[in-house]
């Protein structure tokens, strides 16, 4: 019983994996942001009024499968542009960690709205982003490596009254109330509970921080926040294991994977050959095709079982990340690879992430010092020129 009590206390008093959850936040928000910016010229043909999968067909499908898409609230081109802009802005701000609680909801809104609008455009990477956008809502992913953490660490701002948070909360509340009163916003029950629940929770959190920062109410909210965070992180880890396990076991049942020739065929498809000469060179090597095909199956099947051994897990984790990097280059699937590498990051060791964060911080400081030194150098060179001229 004592061990159970200690374990329960740890789960409720601690947010596990703060650096892993922050990296997941940055990775998925950044991947989705780059994708949206790349497809900006083609947005109308993909998700907007000019899409082959028309707004009416999408509405019929969503009415049948119970999915959610904010684009179904109106077929107006202006509304589509607003939703697309919200998706871009929320992705950028979530990646930077600005008001992560609010931005995580807006990020989920943008991902679900666009992806469910044209379901036939997605691939495996889009499915992963789709799921992770929902899971991120329940995590405390802004504790480190975020503007929120930086703002909370500044003593001068600790006693200031937060005005931006209540303003965002009021705007989102007004939107939800307007939709409920006019009944023009058709939201599925699960999404309605999630949005209203998040809105109420954010209000309670701000109230407790404002009027009882050291009281029992604040401690109780921390307990619930830690429980949701830890449960969501566990679900993310389980999701990654499930993806690799099912992919590996399904591959075992395929004859092309059994004889070790599966990689040969995508290397010969024009759609998956951004570098035709490189793909042709690799496809001509029977040994490479055999080793890569068998290696992929073995790594995917074995990975969930290696979680009990940290060293073996880390070795396979590096192998899977390198494999996805190879897929991005050889098969021309960068966003799928980025999504999977980001999902794999939930298993990265905390020590490595601390080392990586330190390297990034030192690199940023070095860049800022150089940028600050340039105006001084220019000023000095100007003064020297004036002296020589004089």
As given in the structure block, the two tokens for residue 310 are 């940290």
Residue 386 clears pLDDT 50, i.e. is over it: no
State the pLDDT at residue 165.
Answer: 87
Contact yes or no for 344/317 (Cβ under 8 A): yes
What is the per-residue pLDDT for 28? 97
pLDDT tens-digit profile of 128-173? 999 999 999 999 999 999 999 998 887 656 557 778 888 999 999 9
Could you give the CA distance from residue 50 to residue 65 in angstroms, rounded to a whole number?
23
Nearest-angstrom CA–CA distance, 65 and 45: 23
Confidence band, pLDDT 50/70/90 cuts, at residue 370: confident
Encode pLDDT of 304-316 as tens digits: 999 889 999 999 9
Arithmetic mean of pLDDT, 53-67: 90
Lowest mean pLDDT among 102-106, 179-183, 300-304: 179-183
d(CA 247, CA 301): 8
Length of the chain: 390
Q: List the domain boundaries for the chain.
A: 15-241
- Out of 88-92, 285-289, 353-357, 372-376, give the one with best mean pLDDT: 88-92
> Residue 356 has which token pair?
């990586």
| Over residues 98-105, mean pLDDT | 95
- Is the pLDDT confidence value at 190 over 90? no
Radius of gyration of the chain (CA): 25
Q: How many angstroms separate the CA atoms of 14 and 17, rounded? A: 9
Please state the rounded mean pLDDT for residues 280-309.
Answer: 92
Confidence at residue 156, expressed as pLDDT on a 0 to 100 scale:
59
Range ranked top by mean pLDDT from 9-13, 93-97, 264-268, 356-360: 93-97
Dist. CA 219–CA 329, nearest whole Å? 48
Mean pLDDT of the chain: 88
Check residues 326 and 217 and name the one with the higher pLDDT. Answer: 326
Instruction: Give the mean pLDDT of 243-267.
Output: 91
Mean pLDDT of 259-280: 91
Tell me which residue has tokens 């999408």. Answer: 58
Burial per residue of 80-98, b for 16 or more beta-carbon CB atoms within 10 angstroms, e otherwise? beebbebbbebbbbbbbbb
Question: Does residue 357 carry a pLDDT above 80?
Answer: yes
- pLDDT for residue 390: 36
Task: Say yes or no to pLDDT of 219 above 70.
Answer: yes
Name the pTM for this structure.
Answer: 0.91
């Amino acid at each position: 019983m004592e061990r159970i009590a200690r374990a329960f206390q740890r789960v409720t008093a601690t947010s596990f994996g703060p650096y892993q959850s922050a990296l997941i936040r940055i990775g998925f928000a950044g991947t989705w942001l780059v994708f949206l910016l790349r497809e900006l010229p083609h947005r109308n043909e993909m998700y907007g009024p000019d899409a082959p999968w028309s707004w009416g067909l999408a509405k019929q499908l969503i009415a049948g499968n119970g999915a959610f898409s904010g684009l179904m609230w109106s077929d107006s081109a202006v509304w589509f542009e607003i939703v697309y802009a919200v998706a871009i802005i929320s992705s950028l701000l979530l990646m930077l960690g600005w008001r992560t609680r609010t931005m995580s909801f807006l990020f989920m809104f943008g991902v679900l709205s666009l992806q469910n609008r044209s379901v036939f455009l997605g691939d495996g990477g889009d499915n992963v982003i789709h799921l992770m956008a929902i899971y991120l809502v329940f995590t405390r992913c802004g504790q480190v490596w975020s503007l929120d953490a930086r703002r909370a660490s500044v003593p001068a701002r600790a006693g200031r009254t937060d005005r931006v948070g209540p303003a965002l909360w009021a705007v989102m509340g007004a939107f939800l109330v307007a939709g409920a009163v006019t009944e023009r916003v058709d939201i599925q029950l699960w999404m309605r509970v999630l949005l209203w629940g998040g809105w109420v929770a954010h209000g309670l959190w701000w109230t407790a921080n404002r009027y009882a920062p050291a009281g029992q109410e604040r401690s109780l909210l921390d307990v619930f926040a830690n429980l949701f965070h830890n449960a969501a992180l566990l679900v993310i880890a389980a999701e990654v294991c499930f993806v690799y396990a099912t992919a590996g076991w399904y591959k075992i049942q395929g004859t092309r994977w059994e004889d070790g020739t599966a990689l040969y065929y995508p290397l010969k498809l024009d759609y998956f050959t951004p570098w035709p000469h490189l793909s042709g060179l690799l496809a001509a090597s029977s040994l490479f095709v055999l080793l890569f095909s068998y290696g992929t199956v073995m790594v995917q099947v074995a990975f969930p079982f290696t979680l009990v051994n940290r060293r073996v897990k880390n070795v396979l984790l590096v192998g899977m990340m390198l494999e996805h990097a190879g897929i991005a280059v050889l098969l021309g699937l960068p966003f799928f690879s980025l999504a999977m590498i980001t999902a794999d990051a939930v298993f990265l060791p905390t020590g490595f992430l601390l080392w990586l964060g330190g390297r990034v911080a030192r690199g940023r400081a070095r860049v800022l010092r150089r940028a600050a030194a340039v105006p001084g150098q220019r000023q000095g060179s100007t003064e020297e020129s004036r002296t020589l001229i004089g």
